[in-house]
């Protein structure tokens, strides 16, 4: 192999050198598998109590209902991988929903025309976030809290006192219709986005640099990676997906107003989905498939809570409990401690020089 010429000069190996582990063994340890099992378990238990939960129509509804969150969570994952966070996704979502919504309501604009517009607005808003994070060197949580408020202000400005409530029929069809029996149209953008981003993360130089920058920006810079460019691109892609999420939100709910995005607490849910999906806020670890499945898991769980007759006000509490449980599991997996130690909040101190990354 050409690239390793200089290595040929080196002394031969001795002892065991690292090999590729079997694909099956790696799959078994993945968070995604655990989440699929958990989701199915919640689903089956709920079906056992109330068989209506297992009907095709309800499944299709839940799949469609989870997609705005799933798309947002995929974007949020990318930002979390570079040790950032984007609190402005709800603002972007809301702004795109009302902007495209009013165009559709007032001019009957085609949804296909709205798609590039939604992505474009998202890219622009994400770019603003990225610029502030990279060049003003302001912590992402502050930048995006600020832009969240600004984006929501613009959303209210667009709305004035009006709401979007009458859309061309195609919108509702895409938002709630099925293209195959019990398989909603909404699933298409969610699955396409997740697979494309997963492929980008796994098999492109860009994906590789996201993990490197998130793990150690300084080490990445020293390895020749253009760190600023990578950071900005993460916020841009996140913004773009939030824009797509906004359009998905509009067609699914068939309406939008100045509170869209804010009232559904989709902002924090997107971060919850990222964490439950196995991506850490400390950067460099995780993936989008976990976030996608986590969004479905959250949907199934919150719907199950309703179906099981628990008052709907407990929805948010359920999400919170799941989030805390996921973080305990993260801790357990990251540390290699036993679960009992993780629960006990192990007092073992990490050596200072070695433990700084955690």
Partner 1 sequence: MTAAPASSPSYQGRASGNEDWAVTPARLEARSISKSFGGAFALKAVSVTFEPGEIHTLCGANGAGKSTLLKVMAGIHAPDSGELILNGDHLRGLTPRIAQKHGVYLVPQEPTLMGPLSALENLFVGIVPRGRLPFSVDWKAMERSAGRFFEQVGLDIDPRLPASELSIAQQQLLECARALAHSCNVIFFDEPTSPLTAHEADVLFGLMRQLRERDFTLAFISHRLDEVLAVSDRITVLRDATVVAGFDAGTATRAKLVEAMVGHAIADRQRRRRAAPDTETVLEVTGLSAPGRFSEIDFAVRKGEVLGLAGLVGSGRTEIAESIFGLRSATGRVVLGGKPFRHRSPAASIRKGLIYLPEDRGHNGVFANVELARNITAAVVPKLQRDGPLLRPAAEYEMAGHAAERTRVVAPSLHVPIKSLSGGNQQRAMFSRWLLAQPTVAIFDEPTRGVDVSAKEDIYQIIEAISDGGIAIVMISSELEELVFVCDRVIAIYEGRIVAEVAGEDITLEKLGTLAVGETAE
Residues contributing to the site for partner 1 (CB under 8 A) = 1, 3-21, 26, 199, 202-205, 208-209, 211-212, 214-216, 218-226, 280, 282-285, 336, 348-349, 351-354, 356-357
Provide the minimum distance between the beta carbon of 268 and partner 1 in the complex, in angstroms, as a whole number.
24
* Nearer residue to partner 1 within complex by CB, 243 or 286: 286
Provide the minimum distance between the beta carbon of 213 and partner 1 in the complex, in angstroms, as a whole number.
9
CA 220 and chain centroid, separation: 24
Note whether 176 and 64 are within 8 A (CB): yes
Give backbone dihedrals phi and psi of 179, rounded to 5 degrees, phi first.
Answer: -95, -20
User: 184: closest CA among 194, 193, 174?
Assistant: 174
- Measured distance CA(300)–CA(106) in Å, rounded: 35
∠ CA 12-17-22, rounded to 5°: 145
* Nearer residue to partner 1 within complex by CB, 309 or 336: 336
Residue 273, classed as helix, strand or coil, is: helix
Provide the minimum distance between the beta carbon of 286 and partner 1 in the complex, in angstroms, as a whole number.
9
Provide the minimum distance between the beta carbon of 176 and partner 1 in the complex, in angstroms, as a whole number.
35
* Nearer residue to partner 1 within complex by CB, 211 or 332: 211
Provide the minimum distance between the beta carbon of 26 and partner 1 in the complex, in angstroms, as a whole number.
6
* Nearer residue to partner 1 within complex by CB, 137 or 348: 348
Residue 290 has, within 13 A of its CA and on its CB side, a CA count of 26
Provide the minimum distance between the beta carbon of 53 and partner 1 in the complex, in angstroms, as a whole number.
38
- Measured distance CA(224)–CA(226) in Å, rounded: 7
The residues, any chain, with a CB within 8 Å of residue 147's CB and separated by 6 or more, are: 88, 91, 125, 128, 129, 132
* Nearer residue to partner 1 within complex by CB, 219 or 308: 219
- Measured distance CA(156)–CA(28) in Å, rounded: 47
* Nearer residue to partner 1 within complex by CB, 31 or 285: 285
* Nearer residue to partner 1 within complex by CB, 45 or 223: 223
Provide the minimum distance between the beta carbon of 353 and partner 1 in the complex, in angstroms, as a whole number.
7
Q: Rounded to whole angstroms, what are the CA distances from 146 to 91, 132, 142, 254, 269?
A: 10, 10, 6, 29, 19
């Amino acid at each position: 192999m050409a690239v390793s010429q200089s290595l040929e000069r080196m002394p031969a190996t001795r002892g065991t050198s690292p090999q590729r582990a079997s694909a099956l063994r790696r799959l078994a340890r993945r968070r995604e598998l655990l989440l699929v099992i958990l989701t199915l378990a919640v689903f089956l238990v709920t079906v056992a109590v109330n068989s209506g939960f297992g009907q095709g129509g309800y499944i299709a509804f839940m799949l469609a209902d989870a997609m705005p969150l799933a798309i947002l969570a995929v974007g949020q994952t990318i930002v979390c991988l570079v040790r950032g966070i984007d609190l402005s996704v709800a603002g972007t979502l809301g702004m795109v929903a009302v902007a495209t919504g009013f165009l559709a309501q007032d001019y009957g604009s085609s949804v296909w025309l709205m798609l590039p517009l939604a992505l474009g607005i998202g890219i622009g808003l994400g770019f603003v976030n990225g610029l502030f994070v990279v060049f003003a060197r302001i912590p992402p949580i502050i930048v995006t809290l600020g832009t969240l408020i600004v984006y929501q202000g613009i959303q209210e400005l667009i709305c004035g006192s009006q709401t979007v409530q009458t859309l061309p029929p195609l919108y509702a069809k895409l938002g709630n219709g099925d293209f195959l029996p019990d398989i909603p149209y909404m699933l298409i953008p969610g699955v396409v986005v997740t697979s494309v981003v997963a492929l980008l993360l796994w098999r492109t130089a860009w994906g590789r640099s996201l993990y490197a920058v998130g793990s150690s920006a300084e080490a990445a810079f020293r390895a020749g990676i253009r760190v600023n460019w990578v950071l900005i691109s993460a916020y841009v892609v996140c913004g773009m997906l939030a824009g797509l999420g906004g359009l998905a939100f509009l067609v699914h709910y068939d309406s939008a107003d100045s509170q869209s995005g804010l009232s559904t607490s989709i902002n924090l849910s997107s971060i919850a989905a990222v964490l439950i999906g196995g991506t850490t806020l400390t950067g460099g670890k995780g993936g989008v498939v976990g976030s996608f499945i986590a969004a479905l898991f959250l949907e199934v769980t919150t719907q199950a809570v309703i179906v099981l007759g628990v008052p709907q006000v407990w929805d948010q509490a359920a999400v919170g409990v799941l989030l805390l449980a996921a973080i305990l599991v993260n801790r357990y997996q990251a540390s290699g401690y036993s679960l009992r130690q993780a629960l006990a909040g192990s007092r073992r101190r990490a050596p200072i020089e070695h433990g700084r990354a955690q």
